[in-house]
Amino acid sequence: MKNQLQQSVIFVLLLFLSGCSIEQNQTQNNTESIYINDEYKNQFEASVIYRSLDDALSNSNCIVTAKLEQIIESNDYREYLFKLTDTIKGTMNLESFYVQEGYGYHSVQTANFSYSTLDSQYSIGREYVLVLSKTISVYFDKDIYMVSGDIFIELDSDKNITSYTRYHEPEEKGFKTLNEIITYVELNIPLDNDPKVYGMPYTKSEEIEDIVNASEYIVKAKIINIHTEGRTNRNTYKCKVSESIKGLTSNEILVILFKDTVAFGGEYLLLLNKDNEDSLIYTLSSVNSVVDIDLDKNLVEEIIMLALE
């Protein structure tokens, strides 16, 4: 069973897949389309679990400084293109990287405030301290970075802090300069030699044994129809399970699959995961987790043998 933090990260991925995205440790209330900046956007309402500063810093993948180069608005989420200027904690291997943010209204649990991310706080050309979580997903062609704890720290050219908020609330007592942040992190936040990465690092693996071990559920299933039409490269399909080889599922399940990889009426061996036992949606454990039973009989036999060991 995945721990609570891993479950909530997978839940975030499901929200991305269904047309909206929110930060870790949140619960979705509802979604709808709204009109923002002359375009329709998919917006959500969510209750955000409050995270302390130390918790957000400790559970981040990396803490960096970076300048914002571009803001890309899509129907499903906003992307920020940053150029790295320095690394405070962890490792950022990309000179330029994207950070994602969903459109929505947030209420913060155990705190008496709420906020909206319909409009961006960030400005192109400005430099920021970014406390980042990192998630790897089989459904995206690049790693997903998000701001942990909704920490917003803007710097001026002298590395003084011009704006510092958490959950859009001003931090009146706190850091005034970048050096103060660096010193605080060095003294109070342990450097993790294995920076946290949520999701499945083996999502693109071709090692069958790794994929089998990483799959909570392995089933033989027939594709019935499309349950939810996706706007990108995937749909949510209704599947009828004929045999459960690993893990127990219902007779009918919903699985997010890439378009044009399955045919209606076709039977497949599916290697799957989901965020928790009550989830209605299953996700692929890797890009190699759909096997045509008629075309790849040897591979099917190998997977079943490994699953039953």
Tally of domains in the chain: 2
Q: What is the pLDDT of residue 25?
A: 37
Q: How far is CA 13 from CA 95, 234, 286, in A?
A: 24, 13, 14
CATH number at residue 87: 2.40.50
CATH number at residue 278: 2.40.50.120
Are 272 and 216 in the same domain?
yes
Are 216 and 187 in the same domain?
no
Are 57 and 153 in the same domain?
yes
- Helices and strands per DSSP (H, E), number in the chain: 5, 19
Q: What is the pTM of this model?
A: 0.72
Single residue among 199, 232, 267 that ends a domain in this structure:
199
Q: What is the pLDDT of residue 50?
A: 84
Are 184 and 272 in the same domain?
no
Are 230 and 271 in the same domain?
yes
Single residue among 199, 233, 258 that ends a domain in this structure:
199
Single residue among 154, 171, 199 that ends a domain in this structure:
199
Write out the residue range of the structural domain in which residue 287 sits. Answer: 208-308
Are 52 and 176 in the same domain?
yes
End-to-end Cα, the chain, rounded Å: 19
Are 176 and 41 in the same domain?
yes
- Residues linked to residue 113 through DSSP beta bridges, in sequence order: none
Q: Strand 151-155 relative to strand 144-147: parallel, antiparallel, unpaired?
A: unpaired
Q: Are 29 and 111 in contact (CB under 8 A)?
A: no
Q: Encode the chain (309 residues) as per-residue pLDDT tens digits.
A: 333 333 333 334 444 444 333 333 333 344 444 444 445 677 878 887 888 899 999 989 999 999 999 999 988 789 999 999 999 999 999 999 999 998 988 888 888 889 999 999 999 999 999 999 988 778 877 788 999 889 999 999 999 999 999 999 998 778 999 999 999 999 999 877 667 776 655 455 678 898 898 899 999 999 999 998 876 788 999 999 999 999 999 999 999 999 989 999 999 999 998 866 667 889 898 888 999 999 999 999 999 999 998
Q: Are 140 and 200 in contact (CB under 8 A)?
A: no
Are 166 and 260 in the same domain?
no
Q: What is the pLDDT of residue 161?
A: 97
Q: Are 100 and 79 in contact (CB under 8 A)?
A: yes
Are 187 and 42 in the same domain?
yes
d(CA 241, CA 70): 45
Q: What is the pLDDT of residue 141?
A: 76
Are 125 and 243 in the same domain?
no
